[in-house]
Chain A
Amino acid sequence: MLDLSWMAWTWPTAGFFIFILLCIVSMGIWEKFSPGGGPRRGVFGIDTTRGDRLFISLLGSIFIFLVWLWAFSTPLWGAVMLSFIWALFVFLRV
């Protein structure tokens, strides 16, 4: 067996990757049962598919977290809320 202890896994970080993986898998399932079709033009004037929207949501959330951490430090509940609002906005309007 490979010794992967150098990767220094912890539950919270593993949880983070599992969350990303679940997002991708559920996007796949969603696409299978109700295809999202081609790209659409959103409020920013860019064409996005569902996958693009997931990417924008995640990348945007990361920056929400970073800025929150920089400005208000922990706890991060506010950033979590904002990220959800951001993701919702991206999926509905962008």
Chain B
Amino acid sequence: MISKSVKQSAWFFVIPVVFLVAFNALIPLMTVVNYAFQETFGDNVFFWEGLTWFEQVLNSDRFHDAFLRQIMFTSIILLIEVPLGIAIALSMPRKGPWVSVCLVLMALPLLIPWNVVGAMWNIFALPDIGLLGYSLNAIGIDYNFTQQPISAWITTILMDVWHWTSLVVLLAYAGLTAIPEAYYQAAKIDGASKWAVFKWIQLPKMKRVLTIAILLRFMDSFMIYTELIVLTGGGPGNSTTLLSIDLVKLALGQFDLGPAAAMSLVYFFVVLLICWVFYTLMMKNEQQ
């Protein structure tokens, strides 16, 4: 049993954070809850609607479709980015002058503003003038992401992988460099293969940072908006309309604040639930 010693003065230091969280998370969240139960036509005039919007959202095909697309998108990028990120981190040098070169190269995509990422990929992939689009068509592959849903999906996923794999790489690399040399030496003495070293030393030691990487990528992919709106705008048709895009279309495009608020709450709870389940599962084996 753990005996807790509580120092009251510690609370004092938490106050700034409390204020920060209150202003950037709690108050907006409360407002969204309030909006979700009301109808407004502007001018701060609201009418009580009860659970109408929630029922509407839960039964709307539009929400279901956006939700399914979102789940599919998130699963695909996680399945690509996590293994790829680990593989790149493993192949990066652990010491020497190339370390900083690699780190800077890896960090570059993360430093580019999101709308620029979208614009870059948009131009890169354009079938008539973009390098990627043009060359694909030149070698006989029918590719046009502004017309074909499949092409649009592939482009979106490529963009996300290009943009965010670095995050997984950097986190995994940090985990790798924290492993003491003695572990590798012991593994050599024990005659462990490369795969055994990965499975029994590197992966377990990276578990915590990978948990964080997966959670971050999961949540961020649920929030993907800027890059996607610039690249495909959610099209062609609704084929790449993921949750955030749908939400913004609803809230700002149609000024349906109530339904949009209800939708974002449902969406928030789903993210919260998945994160909680994932985190609990990852940490479950930790203490035994």
A–B contact at 8 Å CB threshold (below): yes
Contact at B269–A8, with CB atoms within 8 Å?
no
Contact at B37–A12, with CB atoms within 8 Å?
yes
User: B128 interface residue, CB < 8 Å from A?
Assistant: no
User: B55 interface residue, CB < 8 Å from A?
Assistant: yes
User: B276 interface residue, CB < 8 Å from A?
Assistant: yes
Q: How far is the CB of B50 from chain A (nearest CB, A)?
A: 8
Contact at A74–B37, with CB atoms within 8 Å?
no
Q: Which residues of B contact A70 (CB under 8 A)?
A: 55, 58-59
Q: Which residues of B contact A76 (CB under 8 A)?
A: 51
Number of B residues, CB within 8 Å of A: 29
| Inter-chain pairs besides A55-B276, A74-B50, 4 sampled, C-beta below 8 Å | A7-B34, A8-B46, A13-B33, A59-B276
Closest chain A residue, CB of each to CB of B27: A7
User: A73 CA to B58 CA in the complex, in Å?
Assistant: 10
Q: How far is the CB of A62 from chain B (nearest CB, A)?
A: 5
Which residue in A6, A16, A37, A46 is a CB contact (below 8 Å) of B31?
A: A6
Number of A residues, CB within 8 Å of B: 26
User: B44 interface residue, CB < 8 Å from A?
Assistant: yes
User: A74 CA to B46 CA in the complex, in Å?
Assistant: 22
Contact at B30–A7, with CB atoms within 8 Å?
yes
User: A38 CA to B287 CA in the complex, in Å?
Assistant: 13
Residue positions of B touching A, CB distance < 8 A: 1-2, 4, 27, 30-31, 33-35, 37-38, 40, 44, 46, 48, 50-51, 54-55, 58-59, 266, 269, 272-273, 276, 280, 284, 287
7 contacts between A and B (CB under 8 A): A6-B44, A7-B34, A8-B40, A59-B276, A66-B58, A66-B266, A74-B55
User: A5 CA to B280 CA in the complex, in Å?
Assistant: 39
Closest chain A residue, CB of each to CB of B58: A70
Closest chain A residue, CB of each to CB of B40: A8
10 shortest interchain CB distances as A-B pairs: A70-B58, A8-B34, A38-B2, A8-B46, A7-B31, A13-B34, A5-B44, A38-B1, A62-B269, A13-B33
| CB-CB contacts below 8 Å: A59-80 with B | 59, 62-63, 66, 69-70, 73-74, 76
Q: Which residues of B contact A47 (CB under 8 A)?
A: 287
